[in-house]
Protein backbone atom coordinates (compact mmCIF):
# COMPACT_ATOMS: atom_id res chain seq x y z
CA UNK A 1 0.00 0.00 0.00
CA UNK A 2 1.31 3.41 -0.99
CA UNK A 3 0.92 6.45 1.23
CA UNK A 4 1.89 10.04 0.58
CA UNK A 5 2.56 12.58 3.32
CA UNK A 6 2.93 16.27 2.53
CA UNK A 7 4.73 18.83 4.66
CA UNK A 8 5.99 22.38 4.45
CA UNK A 9 2.81 24.39 4.16
CA UNK A 10 2.08 27.48 6.20
CA UNK A 11 1.46 31.21 6.17
CA UNK A 12 3.69 33.39 4.03
CA UNK A 13 3.63 37.05 3.01
CA UNK A 14 3.13 38.03 -0.63
CA UNK A 15 6.41 37.74 -2.48
CA UNK A 16 7.69 35.11 -0.11
CA UNK A 17 8.73 31.52 -0.65
CA UNK A 18 7.81 28.09 0.64
CA UNK A 19 9.07 24.60 -0.07
CA UNK A 20 6.65 21.71 0.04
CA UNK A 21 7.78 18.12 0.39
CA UNK A 22 6.01 14.83 -0.12
CA UNK A 23 7.30 11.56 1.27
CA UNK A 24 6.11 8.34 -0.34
CA UNK A 25 6.07 4.83 1.01
CA UNK A 26 6.37 1.76 -1.16
CA UNK A 27 8.76 0.60 -3.84
CA UNK A 28 7.29 2.05 -7.02
CA UNK A 29 8.08 5.72 -6.44
CA UNK A 30 10.91 5.86 -8.94
CA UNK A 31 8.67 4.45 -11.68
CA UNK A 32 5.74 6.78 -11.02
CA UNK A 33 4.66 10.16 -12.27
CA UNK A 34 4.52 12.53 -9.32
CA UNK A 35 2.53 15.70 -9.21
CA UNK A 36 1.43 18.62 -7.09
CA UNK A 37 -2.14 19.82 -7.29
CA UNK A 38 -4.00 22.52 -5.41
CA UNK A 39 -7.54 23.35 -4.47
CA UNK A 40 -8.61 26.82 -3.42
CA UNK A 41 -11.85 27.43 -1.52
CA UNK A 42 -14.84 27.12 -3.83
CA UNK A 43 -12.72 25.99 -6.76
CA UNK A 44 -11.90 22.68 -8.39
CA UNK A 45 -8.63 20.91 -7.81
CA UNK A 46 -6.09 21.88 -10.45
CA UNK A 47 -2.69 20.63 -11.49
CA UNK A 48 0.29 22.74 -10.44
CA UNK A 49 3.25 20.70 -11.67
CA UNK A 50 4.17 17.16 -12.62
CA UNK A 51 7.41 15.26 -13.00
CA UNK A 52 7.91 11.95 -14.76
CA UNK A 53 10.10 9.07 -13.64
CA UNK A 54 12.80 10.36 -15.97
CA UNK A 55 12.58 13.90 -14.65
CA UNK A 56 10.55 15.62 -17.35
CA UNK A 57 8.52 18.42 -15.84
CA UNK A 58 5.34 20.26 -16.71
CA UNK A 59 3.84 23.35 -15.08
CA UNK A 60 0.56 25.17 -15.03
CA UNK A 61 0.80 28.53 -16.78
CA UNK A 62 -0.02 30.31 -13.53
CA UNK A 63 3.14 29.06 -11.81
CA UNK A 64 5.67 28.88 -14.65
CA UNK A 65 8.86 30.66 -13.72
CA UNK A 66 7.92 30.78 -10.03
CA UNK A 67 7.56 27.13 -8.96
CA UNK A 68 9.99 24.27 -9.41
CA UNK A 69 9.16 20.60 -8.95
CA UNK A 70 11.91 18.09 -8.24
CA UNK A 71 12.23 14.51 -7.07
CA UNK A 72 14.74 12.38 -5.22
CA UNK A 73 14.20 8.75 -6.13
CA UNK A 74 16.72 7.58 -3.56
CA UNK A 75 14.68 9.18 -0.77
CA UNK A 76 11.21 8.64 -2.26
CA UNK A 77 10.45 12.34 -2.07
CA UNK A 78 9.07 14.99 -4.38
CA UNK A 79 9.33 18.70 -3.63
CA UNK A 80 7.79 21.92 -4.83
CA UNK A 81 9.79 25.10 -4.43
CA UNK A 82 7.43 28.05 -4.58
CA UNK A 83 8.77 31.57 -5.05
CA UNK A 84 7.13 34.96 -5.55
CA UNK A 85 3.96 33.73 -3.93
CA UNK A 86 0.79 35.76 -4.23
CA UNK A 87 -2.73 35.56 -2.84
CA UNK A 88 -3.91 33.48 -5.80
CA UNK A 89 -1.57 30.71 -4.65
CA UNK A 90 -3.54 30.26 -1.44
CA UNK A 91 -4.89 26.71 -1.47
CA UNK A 92 -4.54 23.24 -0.09
CA UNK A 93 -1.71 21.56 -1.95
CA UNK A 94 -1.89 17.83 -2.62
CA UNK A 95 0.78 15.37 -3.64
CA UNK A 96 -0.18 12.74 -6.23
CA UNK A 97 1.38 9.51 -7.49
CA UNK A 98 0.32 7.84 -10.73
CA UNK A 99 1.43 4.64 -12.41
CA UNK A 100 -0.91 2.76 -14.79
CA UNK A 101 -4.13 2.35 -12.78
CA UNK A 102 -2.56 3.47 -9.51
CA UNK A 103 -3.69 6.93 -8.46
CA UNK A 104 -2.77 7.91 -4.90
CA UNK A 105 -3.32 11.22 -3.09
CA UNK A 106 -1.93 12.69 0.06
CA UNK A 107 -4.10 14.51 2.57
CA UNK A 108 -2.82 17.91 1.58
CA UNK A 109 -1.05 20.82 3.21
CA UNK A 110 -2.42 24.33 3.54
CA UNK A 111 -0.59 27.25 1.94
CA UNK A 112 -1.86 30.71 2.81
CA UNK A 113 -0.42 33.83 1.24
CA UNK A 114 -1.46 36.92 3.15
CA UNK A 115 -0.06 40.13 4.51
Q: Give the whole-number percent of the chain exceeding pLDDT 90.
A: 96
pLDDT at 5: 97
> Could you tell me what percentage of the chain is helix, strand and coil, using 3-state DSSP and rounding each to the nearest 5?
10, 50, 40
Consecutive H or E run containing 34: strand 33-39
Are 22 and 35 in contact by the 8 Å Cβ rule? The answer is no
Beta strand pairing call for 67-72 and 77-82: antiparallel
pLDDT for residue 61 is more than 90: yes
Distance of alpha carbon 75 from alpha carbon 111, whole angstroms? 24
Question: What is the pLDDT, as a whole number, of residue 1?
Answer: 84
pLDDT exceeds cutoff 90 at 6: yes
Residue 26: pLDDT band with limits 50, 70, 90:
confident
pLDDT at 27: 85
Amino acid sequence: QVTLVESGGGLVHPGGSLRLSCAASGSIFSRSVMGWYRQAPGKQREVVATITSSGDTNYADAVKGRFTISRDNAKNTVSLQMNSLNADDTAVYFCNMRRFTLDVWGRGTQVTVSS
